Amino acid sequence: LGKLLHFWLENIENGRVYGIVPFQGILKRSIYGGSVPPCGSGTDSVTITTDGRVLACPIAVEEKWALLAEDLRNFRESKKTFIEEPCTSCNFLKECGGRCLYAYMEKLWGEEGFYEICKITMWLVERMRKVRPKLLEMVESGIIELNDLIYPAYNNSVEIIP
C-alpha cells in the first residue's frame, strides 16, 4: 500500500492523477466530510427491492437489521443509527466514515479481523493527512485540478474503506 501511495504521489507531481479510490475517497472526506457510513446506506440513500421492501444497504437483502420498511408506502425516512462505537469516538471517523455498513454490521472477519482492517485504515488515513497539504499546494499552483483528486464526484456508494 505504501508503494502504491508513493507511485500515486510521484505521478501527481508530474501532473498525472491515477484514479485510486481509497486515496481519492479519503482525501475527499478529509476536505469535505461525508456520510456515516461513507456510502450513505441507511442515511442518505436506501434500497428498494423488487418486492417493495426498503433496505438500508443494497447488499444486505436478507439481514433483519437492514430492513427499514416492509413496503415503500410505509416508509417515510430512516431514523436508525447504524454506526456506533467504537467508530463514533474514533479520531479517524471523518475520513473513514465507519467503513462499509455491511462489513460493520456483519463483521464477517470477526472482531479481530474488524480491528485489523481498522489498523490499516488508520495507517492509510494518517498517510493521507500528511500528504494532503502538498496535494492542495499542487492544486493551488495549477499542477493538478482539485476535481481530478476528488472521488466520487457524487455518492455512487462505492466501497472506499472495506
User: How many domains does one find in the chain?
Assistant: 1
In a domain, 32, yes or no: yes
In a domain, 54, yes or no: no
> Which three three-digit cell numbers place residue 106?
456483519
In a domain, 35, yes or no: yes
Rounded CA separation 33/56 (Å): 21
In a domain, 58, yes or no: no
Q: Residue 130 belongs to what domain range?
A: 2-11+22-40+82-149
Q: Is the dihedral of CA 4, 107, 42, 34 positive or negative?
A: negative
- Specify the pLDDT at position 32: 93
In a domain, 75, yes or no: no
- Specify the pLDDT at position 77: 75
In a domain, 113, yes or no: yes
In a domain, 74, yes or no: no
pTM for this entry: 0.88
Task: Please report, in tens digits, the pLDDT of each residue of the chain (162 residues total).
Answer: 999 999 999 999 999 999 998 999 999 999 999 989 988 898 888 999 999 999 999 999 999 999 999 988 888 877 788 999 999 999 999 999 999 999 999 999 999 999 999 999 999 999 999 999 999 999 999 999 999 999 888 777 777 876
Rounded CA separation 159/162 (Å): 6
- Specify the pLDDT at position 160: 80
At which residue does the C-alpha cell 493538478 appear? 144
- Specify the pLDDT at position 162: 66
In a domain, 141, yes or no: yes
